[in-house]
Structure 1
Amino acid sequence: MPKAVKFSNKYWAVAADLYHPAGFDAKKQYPAILCAHPISSCKEQTAAIYAEQLAALGYVVLAFDASHQGASGGEPRYLEDPATRVEDFRCAVDYLVTLDYVDEARIGVLGICGGGGYAVSAAMTERRIKAVGTVVAANYGRIMREGDLSPDAALKTLEAIGKQRTAEARGAEPAIVNYIPASVAEREKAGITDIDIVEAVEYYTTPRGQQPGSPNQLRFSGLQAALGFDAFHLAEHLLTQPLQIVVGNKPGAFGSLRDGYELFHRARSERKNLFVVEGASHYDLYDKPGYVEQAMAKLGPFYKENL
Structure 2
Amino acid sequence: MTQAQSITVKNRSWDVAATLRLPEGFDAGRKYAAIVCAHPISSCKEQTSGAIYGEALTKAGFITLAFDASTQGASGGEPRFLEDPGTRVEDFRCAVDYLVTLPYVDEAKIGVLGVCGGGGYAVSAAMTDRRFKAVGTVVAANYGRLMREGDMSPDAAIKTLDAIAKQRTAEARGADPLIVGYIPGSEAERAKAGINDIDIVEAVQYYTTPRGQQPGSPNKLRLTSTGAAVGWDAFHFAELLLTQPLHIVIGGVPGGFGSYRDGLELYGRARSHEKSIQILPDTSHYDLYDKPEATSQALAQLVPFYKKHLGA
Interval of TM-score (by shorter of Structure 1 and Structure 2): over 0.9
Query: How many angstroms apart in 2 are the aligned matches of 1:33 and 1:161?
Result: 36
- Give the equivalent residue in structure 1 for 2:19: 17
* TM-score (normalised: structure 2): 0.98
Query: How many angstroms apart in 1 are the aligned matches of 2:278 and 2:154?
Result: 32
Query: How many angstroms apart in 1 are the aligned matches of 2:14 and 2:75?
Result: 8
Q: Does 1:185 align with 2:181?
A: no
- Give the equivalent residue in structure 1 for 2:138: 135
* TM-score (normalised: structure 1): 0.99
- Give the equivalent residue in structure 2 for 1:220: 223
Query: 43, 58, 63: which is aligned to 2:61?
Result: 58
Query: 179, 182, 196: which is aligned to 2:199?
Result: 196
Say which is worse superposed, 1-10 or 235-244, in terms of deviation. 1-10
Query: How many angstroms apart in 1 are the aligned matches of 2:147 and 2:285?
Result: 18
CA offset digits 1:22-70 (Å, max 9, x no partner): 0001111100000000000000000121000000000000000000100
CA offset digits 1:204-254 (Å, max 9, x no partner): 001100000000000001111011110000000000000000000000000
Task: Name the aligned partner's letter for residue 61 of structure 1.
Answer: T
- Give the equivalent residue in structure 2 for 1:41: 43
- Give the equivalent residue in structure 1 for 2:298: 295
Fraction of identical pairs, as percent: 71
CA offset digits 1:67-92 (Å, max 9, x no partner): 01000000000000000000000000
SS of equivalent residue, structure 2 residue 9: strand
Shift of 1:128: 0.4
Query: How many angstroms apart in 2 are the aligned matches of 1:62 and 1:4?
Result: 10
Task: Name the aligned partner's letter for residue 298 of structure 2.
Answer: A
Query: How many angstroms apart in 1 are the aligned matches of 2:4 and 2:284?
Result: 28
- Give the equivalent residue in structure 1 for 2:114: 111
- Give the equivalent residue in structure 2 for 1:28: 30
Query: 81, 95, 100: which is aligned to 1:97?
Result: 100
Shift of 1:7: 1.0
Query: How many angstroms apart in 2 are the aligned matches of 1:111 and 1:283?
Result: 14
- CA-based RMSD of the aligned residues comes to 0.5
CA offset digits 1:262-284 (Å, max 9, x no partner): 00000000000010011110000
Query: How many angstroms apart in 2 are the aligned matches of 1:66 and 1:151?
Result: 32
Shift of 1:2: 1.3
Query: How many angstroms apart in 2 are the aligned matches of 1:99 and 1:175?
Result: 40
After TM superposition, where is structure 1 displaced by more than 2 Å over at least 4 residues in a row? Answer: none
SS of equivalent residue, structure 1 residue 16: strand
- Give the equivalent residue in structure 2 for 1:263: 266
Query: How many angstroms apart in 2 are the aligned matches of 1:44 and 1:226?
Result: 25
Task: Name the aligned partner's letter for residue 74 of structure 2.
Answer: A
Query: How many angstroms apart in 1 are the aligned matches of 2:280 and 2:106?
Result: 32
Q: How does 1:243-282 map to 2 (within 5 A)?
A: 243-282=246-285
SS of equivalent residue, structure 1 residue 150: coil
Q: Does 1:77 align with 2:73?
A: no
* Alignment gaps of 5+ in structure 2: none
Task: Name the aligned partner's letter for residue 265 of structure 1.
Answer: G
Shift of 1:102: 0.3
SS of equivalent residue, structure 1 residue 2: strand
Task: Name the aligned partner's letter for residue 22 of structure 2.
Answer: H
SS of equivalent residue, structure 1 residue 149: coil
SS of equivalent residue, structure 2 residue 199: helix
Task: Name the aligned partner's letter for residue 45 of structure 2.
Answer: K
- Give the equivalent residue in structure 1 for 2:7: 5
Query: How many angstroms apart in 2 are the aligned matches of 1:165 and 1:36?
Result: 29
Q: Does 1:68 align with 2:71?
A: yes
